[in-house]
Homo-oligomer: A and B are copies of this chain.
């Protein structure tokens, strides 16, 4: 699509200079006079009860300012995800800042604030804790058995923290009418975000009752509400902000940043001094939410011609020690994976189960990558069973624009068919049906693909709204205030582009304030691929509001009808004739005692994005190593506001999907201890694993999005694992039902 002012252009990121010069400030960089340093004592047991805890020796250590435990800290129960799902969902508030019952290896026992990290660590060693060990369970299927130990008392019983059930049509009849029915079972691992900056917070509390928390949170406003509730403060007296940058997030900081904010705030309130708590990498691995592992069963029924008749999807997800975003993840897994294709009879059954492992929560894709791996792998298997090309099978059933789907409104624009067709052409799909050889005789190659969809936010499933101010300054520049963080995804740049185009000025004249509850109106935050699509809608509305107010003022001053006015790139015209610049108009406003403030207040629609990934892999049959050579990622992004940033999002998430497919996993030993708790032990793809990633942007110009945009942040991860598994099967003839496809597993499969 043609650019509209600043929109549709790959302008450089506004944070680029600060980040390359090292000037950009992150939570870890904050340093206040008199600041204390916090460290956390964590449970060595997967399940235990604190019989007694003696902090007297720790408190006596010189330099120690506060020691917090379950005994001297609020017992308010909460859910760290800050999700506010709409009924019939019920909020699961199952954790306290410090729990007396410890439910995983790493659960918080106590925290110390001291004048140095060394003193804090020394104080931790002086805390005497008597534990009563309790029986533990690690697998969700085991945990659901009646005889399993109860991780929590559950309303639904059997350690079930949450469930989702989405029926459409008549699933039994759908299978009965199908010519072919297949049923497949998949197993998904625990993986971690591995964002560069760990969970971090600095909290400051004054005796007059003002709490300020700088942190890595992706949701400053909802977190502010939570902290106010936890500490019995009015929300107005609590300020939460990013400082302003976050070193990556990928869902790891939705709501709280693990417990960094609640613990830092509790200690700051006790010590009346600023307290900094920065998780080390080990804590990030063992004590901050992971992606949900679990078991997924897909039963698919089709007619001989490939028409899909019925889909049954069952997921049992391991949410670990606390529910966190688990119930929502369980729901999203279902919504997103029964909606790729038009299938008349569908049933989704999802369960989210407690175990004594690290809590699972939000992670890029939010359940969708798990479900997509299962559903899209099954689509390939169905194609094989029907003797059809798997691209052809997908195109036959693909979702079409404005078709009905699960949510009670049509599914908006759909560019899925175009994604599949253009991607297939670019990868050279016809090669899949020939023989592909590698460089060496022991190397074989294959091509595969997978399609998918996602959401652009969580409306109408949860509380979901955005506000923005756009204030014109006296020199014609503008200050945009939006409550969403920039986690590194470039949203500060993209929202500035939206504001510039909606108001009609140059993007260099827009200056954004973001991620600060004091400077911005309420916003639900940066997650769910929502930030550009949803917060951008509020920014667009604020820009239009400001433009309307400006034109009303100018029309009055100039004695012309408002409709005769136009402005582009800061040049104002009347009936197409140039009159004055925004700089001149702003000066006129100022001299007339007037500031234009645009207010945008929006509840987003939720237009799903669509995508198809094509992967080419090479398998070393001697070592079992799978190398991804090339990924073609075709995405219906609605409209690329900043194409470079959109491509960056897709490329980064494709790489994260490669890690998910081939190497990443955390496993627990028999005593519930995480075997992977460092980058040394956890196999994240490196720069050496980056394949050629070719991005195809399909622009369907979604009317509900700002300038046509949809969500894109999570999508690149969604179909990557399934596409690689599809390519691996094409190369070696083995279909993996479990990821990661490690060398060991590939070798084992080749040996069969």
Contacts and interface: CB of A to CB of B under 8 A. Distances in A.
A471 B229 CA distance: 18
A593 B225 contact: no
Contacts of A228: 475, 477
Interface stretch (A328-336, A461-469, A726-734): A461-469
A50 to B, nearest CB: 32
A440 interface: no
A597 interface: yes
Contacts of A509: 234, 236
A595 interface: yes
Given A18-B206, A475-B234, A601 B591 contact: no
A511 to B, nearest CB: 3
A686 interface: no
A299 interface: no
A474 interface: yes
A236 B518 contact: no
Interface string A499-539: 00000000011110100101101100000000000000000
How many chain A residues sit at the interface, stated as a range, is 35 or more
A506 to B, nearest CB: 10
Given A225-B474, A518-B519, A590-B463, A206 B23 contact: yes
B599 A474 contact: no
A511 B210 CA distance: 9
A473 interface: yes
A513 B518 contact: yes
A126 interface: no
B601 A595 contact: yes
Nearest to A480: B236
The copy count of this chain in the complex is 2
Nearest to A510: B236
A591 B522 CA distance: 13
A72 interface: no
A557 interface: no
A599 B597 contact: yes
A15 interface: yes
Contacts of A31: 33
Contact of A471 (B23, B33, B521): B521
A236 B511 contact: yes
A459 B592 CA distance: 11
Interface string A207-223: 11100000000000000
Nearest to A20: B207
Contacts of A469: 469, 521
A601 to B, nearest CB: 7
Contacts of A573: none
* Among A23, A234, A510: residue with most chain B CB under 10 A: A234
A678 interface: no
Nearest to A23: B206
A208 B464 contact: no
Given A234-B511, A235-B475, A15 B208 contact: yes
Contact of A597 (B14, B23, B467, B473): B467
Contact of A235 (B86, B464, B474, B601): B474
Contact of A508 (B17, B234, B471, B593): B234
B464 A593 contact: yes
Given A234-B473, A236-B473, A509-B234, A521 B597 contact: yes
Contacts of A21: 207
A479 interface: yes
A237 interface: yes
A66 to B, nearest CB: 17
A577 interface: no
A370 to B, nearest CB: 29
Nearest to A29: B33
A478 interface: yes
Nearest to A208: B17
A593 B31 CA distance: 36
A280 B237 CA distance: 34
Nearest to A14: B208
A637 to B, nearest CB: 25
Contacts of A518: 479, 513, 516, 519
30 contacts: A14-B208, A17-B209, A18-B206, A18-B207, A18-B208, A21-B207, A23-B207, A29-B33, A84-B591, A225-B473, A225-B474, A228-B475, A228-B477, A234-B477, A235-B473, A235-B474, A235-B477, A236-B477, A463-B590, A464-B593, A465-B594, A469-B469, A474-B522, A479-B518, A513-B518, A518-B519, A521-B595, A521-B597, A593-B603, A595-B601
The 6 A-B pairs with the shortest beta carbon distances in the complex, nearest first, are A236-B511, A234-B477, A236-B477, A465-B593, A235-B473, A17-B208
Given A31-B33, A463-B593, 5 more contacts: A17-B206, A17-B207, A225-B473, A235-B474, A236-B478
